[in-house]
Structure 1
Amino acid sequence: MRPQDVVVLLKITTLAAQPWQGKDLAAALLISPAEISDALRRCQYARLLQPDGRTVQRRVLLRFLLYGLPYVFPAHPGGLTQGTPTAHSVVPELPPTDAHPYVWPDPNGATLGVAVEPLYPSLPQAAPHDAAWYELLALTDVLRLGTQPQRQTARQLLRQRLLG
């Protein structure tokens, strides 16, 4: 697995029953079509996609996000920088914190916060164009670096968003 695999899977979950093609994902995620194809193959091999290669195994993905993601793709906060908000700064249902917001570094970002590397470099530019996907990405970042109460709420919200 690679970090962009999680990005691709989360995007597919927001598409519901809408038909999609790899090139559409590539354009929306600002990821090359070849990387999309490779990600889909890896996700199918890891059983995160059904054998059809198009349907996300939502329960399996949720288990991976809750129990694997923080260890496989840990976040290491950096210094203060301008960027695109993520984690608790995006999801209003999360318990508040007195700390600076977390941001994906982006020179065009409007928020000053603690730098966190996104799962894929194009996220600061692509995520704000799809609110549902952006929220899922922010919730995954909460799992990677939030406080215990925030992580608990993020787990509940991810269950709701992914399983209905």
Structure 2
Amino acid sequence: MKGQDVVVLLKLTSLEDDAKDVGHGSSPLGPATGEDPYSVRALEAALGISKTEIGASLKRSIASGLAIKDRKTGRPKPSRRQLREFIVHGLKFVFPAKPGAMQRGLPTAFAAPVLRESLHSAGNLICVWPYAHAKDMGQSVDPLFKSVPEACENDKRLYAYLALIDAIRIGNQRESKHAAGLLAQRLE
């Protein structure tokens, strides 16, 4: 299991959520190209992860039970229950996160929009994913994959999922539990 595997699975989850909002199960086409957003090429463009790595990631996720192949379409799709269990109970041990030096970046964890209003952390310092094009300053936290900030700029659902994950990875018990509850609602 690699960090990008979780990012790819959450992107697939985000696409499923978009499809439910658009037309109850019909998948929307990619914005400019008209291409299937579930294709390896579209995932590469959306996430900044190479096609080879996306293919390998999907194979690892299927082998581990975090994804399954859809019977009708043959596309890999996340096993939401298994993914939720892995994120809530195992992710912080497999991919631990510690806030580091001050840096410019995209707010994550408690500073991200998904948690900003519902949870306030002690102190003035926020956590950010290092990103040169961002305006916020905070303690740097390594994202699950280096291209996460760019991918999150174009996909607010993915941003919310990954920020909640960081709150689980970084937070104390109360904060992690709150973030896990919000994540569970989104992954139902």
TM category, shorter: over 0.9
Aligned residue in 2 for 1:72 = 94
TM-score by length of 2: 0.83
What is the DSSP-based 3-state SS (H/G/I as helix, E as strand, rest coil) of the residue aligned with 1:127?
Answer: helix
What is the DSSP-based 3-state SS (H/G/I as helix, E as strand, rest coil) of the residue aligned with 1:50?
Answer: strand
User: What residue ranges of structure 1 are gaps of 5+ in the alignment?
Assistant: none
Q: Could you tell me how far apart the structure 1 residues matched to 2:129 and 2:76 are?
A: 29
Aligned residue in 2 for 1:98 = 122
Percent identical among aligned pairs is 40
Determine which structure has greater relative contact order: mean sequence separation of CA pairs < 8 Å that are 6+ residues apart, divided by chain length.
1
Q: Could you tell me how far apart the structure 2 residues matched to 1:64 and 1:124 are?
A: 22
Deviations for 1:1-46, whole angstroms, at most 9, x for unmatched residues? 0000000000100111425211111110011111110100000010
Aligned residue in 2 for 1:161 = 186
1:93 deviation in Å? Answer: 4.7
Following TM superposition, where does structure 1 have runs of at least 4 consecutive aligned residues deviating by more than 4 angstroms?
Answer: none
1:59 deviation in Å? Answer: 0.4
TM-score by length of 1: 0.94
Residue 21 (structure 1) aligned with residue 21 (structure 2): no
Contact 1:104/1:118, CA 8 A, preserved across alignment: yes
Q: Could you tell me how far apart the structure 1 residues matched to 2:145 and 2:118 are?
A: 23
**In the alignment, residue 97 of structure 1 is paired with which amino acid?**
S
User: What residue ranges of structure 2 are gaps of 5+ in the alignment?
Assistant: 17-24, 28-35
Q: Could you tell me how far apart the structure 1 residues matched to 2:118 and 2:97 are?
A: 18
